[in-house]
Structure 1
Amino acid sequence: MVIRAQFEEELTTLKNDVKSLAYEAQNALETAIEVLYTHDVTRAKEIIEVDSKIDEREIKINEDAILMIAKQQPVAKDLRRLIIAIKISSDLERMADHATNIAKATIHLGENHNITINPAIRKMAHEAKDMVDVAVKAFEHEDISLAKKLAHMDDVVDEMYGNVVKEMLELTAINPEQIQHIMQMAYSARYIERFADHITNIGESIFYLVKGTSYDLNN
């Protein structure tokens, strides 16, 4: 019983670490979008620096989970919990990378560009941030009904992305001299779309955790 209690305590800590990492990725996206619209190159550079700390958090989660597997030799759902913690943390690290890429786009745009950032990019980011909240709740409560909601939310982001790309292409046609700046907006929208895709991966991981079988949320 003592061993089991210790395992449960370590598992709770690991779960909290994954949730914390999720909110760090969410915050990275929120900050990256803010600096994109405010042309704040200084803060954009700070986001890039913070990304290394998120990488370290992911590595620690992986190491902790592997150590628990080695020490406790869990089976069935307990083993899946540890495996999924590793998998989800990897998706979260990639999400933070995409936020960092948006910060890099801000740096490429510079502080004095006269391009109006498409408001749809902010709306895409807002939807992606909501997806993080749903994913965290689904992970915390091991709720596949919540996990399945991520598929519809991802479809909304995909549709927004398609519309943004169309608008960017039209904008380059009438402003060819600004194509490099306009493309940075298109790239930023793409990074948000990929950010949301990773959240969908998390939803699929939660389904595997609960059911023990793979599930494609895109079908």
Structure 2
Amino acid sequence: MPRIHFHQQLAALKDKLLAMAALAHQVLEYSVTAYVNGDMSLCDHVLEIEAAINAAEREVDEMAYELLSREQPMAIDLRFILSVIKINGDLERIGDQSVNIAQRARSLEKLPRVALPVDIVRMGEHAGKMTQLAIQALVEGDAAIADQVLAMDDEMDLMNREVQDVMVELMQEKPETTDYALNAIIIARNLERSGDHATNIAEDVIFWVRGSDVRHKFALADAD
């Protein structure tokens, strides 16, 4: 009976984390839409959702650490709880990046609209897809889906560099666009970091399911 109760608590912990993950995905989508479409009504929703994410983060941490101290789990159960703690932090940071994007979008409201670089629109879509797949991998406990997220990270980095190059060139040619271009560069960086957090989540799913640590594997491969 004690083990049945323990696994019920693990299921409750996962459910709480998945509810938080859904909020993180939603807030990222709202912030990107606010920026791309100039829909300022979504900025207030972003702040509301982010507050809910922060509250959920505290609850998930409390549940996870209580299970660790009381049950002293081993093997896959231990890996799951450790992964939950790390994923919890990355979901909260996706919320933070989303708030940054929404705040930047609002600061641009009174500036003349400039055509957005194609890559920054694609970055928004790409970050959303990476987050969606990372959450799906978590829901299904599927490391193969997590592998897909890792494979998407390089493209996100490339698009970020391209946005920076295009915006620097724009500022040089049209100095009056400087405020808008600098904000685009910062937002691109926020999106790239959101992709990094989705990658971290995918790596933690792989650790939970396979028991393998792939956190530095791709960084080392890039350095070679």
| TM-score in terms of structure 2 length | 0.90
Shift in Å, 1:46: 3.4
2:213 is aligned to 214
Contact 1:200 1:217 in 2 (8 A): no
1:53 is aligned to 52
Give the 5 Å matches for 1:99-178.
Answer: 99-178=98-177
What do the CA deviations read for 1:103-149 (whole angstroms, capped 9, x no partner)? 01112212453222333222111112111222122223332222222
CA–CA separation in structure 2 for the residues paired with 1:135 and 1:46? 23
1:52 is matched by which residue type in structure 2? A
Contact 2:111 2:180 in 1 (8 A): no
Secondary structure at 1:115 match in 2: coil
Shift in Å, 1:191: 0.6
Moved more, 65-74 or 165-174: 65-74
What do the CA deviations read for 1:31-63 (whole angstroms, capped 9, x no partner)? 111111232334313312431221111111111
CA–CA separation in structure 2 for the residues paired with 1:147 and 1:20? 19
Moved more, 115-124 or 10-19: 115-124
Contact 1:148 1:217 in 2 (8 A): no
Contact 1:39 1:111 in 2 (8 A): no
Moved more, 191-200 or 70-79: 70-79
Contact 1:151 1:217 in 2 (8 A): no
Give the 5 Å matches for 1:46-85.
Answer: 46-85=45-84
CA–CA separation in structure 2 for the residues paired with 1:138 and 1:85? 13
CA–CA separation in structure 2 for the residues paired with 1:101 and 1:217? 30
CA–CA separation in structure 1 for the residues paired with 2:44 and 2:116? 19
CA–CA separation in structure 2 for the residues paired with 1:143 and 1:203? 10
CA–CA separation in structure 1 for the residues paired with 2:111 and 2:191? 24
Following superposition, which runs of at least 4 residues in structure 1 exceed 3 angstroms of deviation?
A: none
Give the 5 Å matches for 1:89-104.
Answer: 89-104=88-103
CA–CA separation in structure 1 for the residues paired with 2:31 and 2:42? 8
Contact 2:123 2:160 in 1 (8 A): yes
State the identity %.
29
Shift in Å, 1:217: 5.1
Secondary structure at 1:207 match in 2: helix
1:13 is aligned to 12
CA-based RMSD of the aligned residues comes to 1.7
Q: How many residues align?
A: 218
User: What 5-or-longer segments of structure 1 have no aligned partner?
Assistant: none
Give the 5 Å matches for 1:188-207.
Answer: 188-207=187-206
Cα distance change on mapping 1:117 and 1:104 into 2, 3 Å:
same
What do the CA deviations read for 1:132-180 (whole angstroms, capped 9, x no partner)? 2221222233322222221221112112112111111111111112211
2:119 is matched by which residue type in structure 1? A
CA–CA separation in structure 2 for the residues paired with 1:50 and 1:211? 33
